[in-house]
Structure 1
Amino acid sequence: MPALRLTALRLTAFRSWAALDVPLLGQIVVIAGPNGAGKTNLLEAISLLTPGRGLRGAKPGDPARRDAQGRAPAWGVVASVLGPRGAVEIATGTTPEAPDRRVFRIDGTPVRTQAEVSAHIAAVWLTPQMDALFQETASGRRAFLDRLTWALEPHHAREIGAHDNAMAQRNRLLAEGRRDDRWLAALEDAMARHGVAATASRRSLVARLNALLQAGVLGDFPRARLGLSCPIAAALDEAPALAVEDRLRETLAAGRTVDAAAGGARAGAHKADLTLAQADTGLPADQCSTGERKALLVATVVGHAGLIAAARGFAPLLLLDEAAVHLDERRREALFAALSALPAQVFLTGTDLDIFGTLAPRAQGFVASPGDLAPAPGFAVA
């Protein structure tokens, strides 16, 4: 499998980094330092080299480093990339003329579509904010599942958008008491068609990821098992998609009065929820310890990277922010062993350099402090 590597990274006016120019030589890159040193900002910069809004969901002007007067100049991220199509330079950022519009360039040439960028680079990530995913609302878990899905099936985003747009219009009509049956039927038809298509994609992603994790691709690291709690998915287990669409249209039409009183549709793709459990014990994530939940999320994200590698022919960059936090020593070492065996380039952050000690003989290490990134002592790759 062709390797994907960042070999250099240059930042300009990006969040806490006024300027940075650093060579990246390791298949595993460790960045350690205190809170507020800019470690997550580095990972976010890398994530923004890919299409989308990055690991923080940033708007185009958000990453700009503000000056003493509170002004936000243009920001830029430039990376030397050795990928499936050879060596290229990928740049993204804003310009003084258009501070609210992010642009991409490949080898200095503006790209016409973000698909051109995707041909050269991909990335997946895990952040500390995701630790609470299985203790919060279903909407957050559903959004997480959808991000996993459209990384492999780009059309999934269109299906979700079309379903949600039709649902919003239907909700508005019902709330206003406008019982235009033909208009409502058309909107319910759109909800059914797009909702079943989106659910089929979610269902496929869950099945593929479970098969990969069951195969033991992460070695001794704990295995996760995903599930999809969704009436539409359950119906697809028993009947063809067209029949499920028909049933959903009928349910929506019959439920207009109740939905109007409730303020929203009681049936549709928006009712899905992602479940996660330990594969070996069946213990659900919401009943697991903090460290066990962390292990489940790490397994899911790393496994997802494996699916992308199989689908696209090259492994994505793995951006793991504080991934070792809450893991005991056994799980931590199992994770490091699994990451070392992957074809992906991995970026790991943490506050304590010592926990990465067993990676030192085969990794590049940095110590971050505000505005500075220095080589870490004892790491072999320099």
Structure 2
Amino acid sequence: MSIFDVMESSVQTYARSFPVVFDQAKGVWLHDRSGKRYLDFLAGAGTLNYGHNHPALKEALIEYIQHDGIAHGLDMHTDAKAQFLSALQNIILKPRGLDHVAQFTGPTGTNAVEAAMKLARKVTGRENIVAFTNGFHGVSLGALAATGNQHHRGGAGTVLANVTRLPYDGYAGTGEDSLVLFETMLNDNSSGLDKPAAVLFEVVQGEGGLNAASVKWLQRLEKICRAHDILLIADDIQAGCGRTGTFFSFEPAGIKPDIITLSKSLSGMGLPFALVLLRPDLDQWEPGEHNGTFRGNNHAFITARKALETFWQDDAFAAGVRAKGELLTRRLQTLVDKFPQLFERVKGRGMMQGIACVNGDIADDITSRAFELGLVIETAGPDDEVVKCLCPLIITEAELTQGLDWLEQAIVDVAAKRLKKAS
């Protein structure tokens, strides 16, 4: 038995899907202890948008460490934090017309969501939060209450309250406007809907199955919230930092959320880092009212600042992401058309797309075979039925094509095996 079998909790998940010991990674490639390399279409569940050990980010971090830069600083002022905040303001926020201030939370996405929900309740004096079907916001109790997945909710061991769940865009089928229900309930004193402090949403539901909200739906959601004095919280933890082709996933809709949560690829290098962006008038915290020992990850400040400077000074990187997203759409649609017995449709947006399989068993067979071929790829959705392509955004077209070729081969093999079994 390995040390992992002896010492590690059974709660682990990815190790079950990829049962090797990885020891090196660079760019879009992972290497295991035996020397085999794998193309990474998982990217740390969206944490490695700029790939593994990007040389510019790694060099900046090594230089900072070698000069004995502050590693841990609680929420004290440091030079590393000042440089990150300046880059965030000048490169990201100002060009997008956002005047939000930054709250550094504990280093996980779920902690950013907790802080956002707490602040919305504190500012409005209301308890209820509206979230959506298939949403995933984390597994700490507050965020878990807003998460739809029953598997994760089942691990809570207690009541998950003060959240009203409504249908996400398209949940009830095409042509059904889920916001009609929301607006009708808000305008009806007998609907039973307690007026919410905030609405919490993802533009693309990463773990929920790559459900993507339309521009029209997002714009109407913002309009409803403004009309009823409800705060709008965008959870951009997985879909942000360029994943959909713009830095924030909501940019194409032209909306301006009151609160934005970021984590995952924010540090640029896989270092733990989470952030809440909030309108200045909402910054009503008392000192220390929401805190965390590791809210001052200065190493992450260094790599995050370098990532912004390297990739976001102009639109070139984002344009490349959009172009590769179009290539991904074409290839996935071809597979759906070629194997109608296995697939339903392409889902997602940008470099956050996948194929909805007829069932989760098919998706599992495909990802398992893909791993044998050298492709690390996961599933998503309520029944793990979506094969999810989440490769680093710095992937070349040649590498993307290679990965999709392996995915297609895995699909061909699974289709043949199922046909043989059926006969």
Which band: TM-score by shorter chain? under 0.3
TM-score by length of 2: 0.23
Bigger proportion of residues as strand? 1
Structure with the larger RCO, 1 or 2 (CA within 8 Å, 6+ apart): 1
TM-score by length of 1: 0.24
